[in-house]
Structure 1
Amino acid sequence: MPTYPDPRTPDHDPAVEALLQGAVDLHCHSGPAVMPRTLDHHDQMLEADAAGFRAVVFKDHYYLGSPACLMLEKLVPEAKVRLFSGIVLNNAHGGINPHAVHHAVTFGAKIIWMPTLSAKNHIDKLSSEASGFPKVEGAPDPIPVTVLDADGRLTDATKEVLDLIAMGDIILAGGHLGVHELFPLFEEAKARGVTKMIVNHPTYLIGCSDEDIRGLVAMGVKMEHSITQFIQGRGQKLEAEDALHLVKVAGPENTLFCSDLGLKGANRPVDGYRILIGDLLKLQVSQADIRTMFGDNAAALLNLQ
């Protein structure tokens, strides 16, 4: 396994703490999970609430977290942070499975993620054991999933899933599909009435160029960048300065920063927000743009405005 620098200890700068008020994390990997996590959903609920977050969306590659959200909100009624979840269309849910999506939408899911660990694009790009991406020991080999048929057209099951997402007025997330799959997916989604669309970490695994990002944004798709990629620790791929370029390409109104944190070897999710917001302030990003990208855009996708 590759080695990683230790996570940074965040400063609790008053300016940063003020900007955490109303933050929203659409991509939180707290546990319980079959992958090792630094904290569980209850821990994350308490930490996000104490920091003033408006909402957190729990994401697990294998299960729908909505029941946990309902129980936690009932058991900790004094917490103001809202909790949501969704499902990822990996092998554990039968891949592109309209039955699983219908159940999730009925249960109050807020996001349907296209395949991640089971995506053919993910498998192809991370076939090396030295990739550093976490694996579940003893798990069966994944069955590659794509939204395209042999002729490069969207499958009927994918179209049915898009109709269910449109019916629920919830978020369609690209997961780990390749950029060549995202364009036909989002084009069809828009035609079928889906209004909330995001690309997860477009510069990692997905293969988006600046031109791709501009093209997707023109279709009404927002770019969700993972905080873990820009801060010291296991998930780092880029520097904070690189975030400035990505914001410029899409515009703050089309950009979200969400943690993608919870994996061991990296910061806890709320601390990840503290670190990157602090770094962006030092790089002269305005407080208004930070509020837009770290809270308001995601809140609108969750219908929380």
Structure 2
Amino acid sequence: MKGLNVSLEGMIDTHIHPGPDIIPRLLDDIEVAREAQIEGMDAIVIKNHVEPTASRARIASKLTGLKVIGGVTLNETIGGLNPSAVEASAKLGGRFVWMPTISREKINLSNIGEVLEVVAEHDLVLATGHLKPYEILELIDLARSAGIRRILVNHPLTRIVGASLEEQREMSRGAILEHCLVTCFHEQLSIGRIIEAIKYVGYKKCIIATDLGQEHNPSPVDGLKWFIGSLIRGGLKEKHISWMCSSAPKKLIF
């Protein structure tokens, strides 16, 4: 993979899927954290579709010395839009609350109010998961009305979300947009399309991450290096990459 000589010093990957998981993963929590620590990264965020990762993140942080951040995804396995699960995750140090992903079609979003109250109370990051654009826009409005200021739109260019450039610009008025490398592998999305979207809304409203961890894909650190190298070769400036991989995620999370 070209771009593997890129430095990841001080950077953060906000979207990694390590093991253990119910599907095979390339690396476990400790392995992925150690690889990031060796590269001098500042932090990583670990996500799981079926169980919370806050406790796992604490153990990985302790064993590796890297800041590993977890959270909870509001899928069927934790009771859907379950404010108690969000509260428990926050008390365990979780920083992220992802809206439904694999259970999106089974969960009624109308009773989101209590979840938003807990997110606001603990100043957590609210991420949009696999919601559709109209749901994301509505959620951003509800979240900001509830006092939530840390809002992340996950992989808007994927087929599962499918946000237009204009919808992304509208989302960026109240949230940060996270563009993930995995879409280039799984959906053959071009780097050019990602660059177009970043330029359309402005790099200061974007984060780049990998969404990696799958057995058949590169490791998250190798993927992030390739992603950054490809974006630079595509015309993005290094200082803009630094903002999207370091300054913006630090501001969002901490």
**3-state DSSP of counterpart to 2:68:** strand
CA distance in 2, matches of 1:288, 1:35: 37
CA distance in 2, matches of 1:214, 1:245: 12
Any conservation in 2 of the 1:10–1:271 contact (CA below 8 Å)?
A: no
Equivalent in the alignment of 1:93: 78
| Residues 1-305 of structure 1: pairs in structure 2 closer than 5 A | 9-13=1-5, 16-17=6-7, 20-76=8-64, 79=65, 81-120=66-105, 144-148=106-110, 155=111, 158-204=112-158, 205-218=160-173, 220-230=174-184, 233=185, 235-303=186-254
CA distance in 2, matches of 1:104, 1:198: 18
**3-state DSSP of counterpart to 2:44:** strand
CA distance in 2, matches of 1:95, 1:287: 40
Alignment-mate amino acid for residue 217 of structure 2: A
**3-state DSSP of counterpart to 1:199:** strand
Any conservation in 1 of the 2:72–2:86 contact (CA below 8 Å)?
A: yes
Cα deviation, residue 193, structure 1: 0.4
**3-state DSSP of counterpart to 1:36:** coil
CA distance in 1, matches of 2:28, 2:109: 32
**3-state DSSP of counterpart to 2:70:** strand
**3-state DSSP of counterpart to 2:152:** strand
**3-state DSSP of counterpart to 1:117:** coil
CA distance in 1, matches of 2:187, 2:217: 9
Alignment-mate amino acid for residue 86 of structure 1: G
**3-state DSSP of counterpart to 2:171:** helix
CA distance in 2, matches of 1:241, 1:275: 14
Cα deviation, residue 55, structure 1: 0.5
Cα deviation, residue 285, structure 1: 1.2
**3-state DSSP of counterpart to 2:109:** coil
How many pairs are equivalent? 253
Q: Deviations over 1:239-280 (max 9, x none)?
A: 111111010122110111111000121111111111111111
CA distance in 1, matches of 2:97, 2:2: 32
Equivalent in the alignment of 1:152: none
Alignment-mate amino acid for residue 209 of structure 1: S
Alignment-mate amino acid for residue 205 of structure 2: N
Any conservation in 1 of the 2:49–2:73 contact (CA below 8 Å)?
A: yes
Any conservation in 2 of the 1:223–1:250 contact (CA below 8 Å)?
A: no
Cα deviation, residue 301, structure 1: 1.1
After superposition, the CA RMSD in angstroms is: 1.3
TM-score (norm 1): 0.80
Cα deviation, residue 236, structure 1: 4.1
Identity of aligned residues (%): 30
Moved over 4 A (4+): none
CA distance in 2, matches of 1:284, 1:250: 16
CA distance in 2, matches of 1:172, 1:82: 19
CA distance in 2, matches of 1:212, 1:48: 33
Alignment-mate amino acid for residue 49 of structure 2: H
Cα deviation, residue 203, structure 1: 1.6
Cα deviation, residue 99, structure 1: 1.2
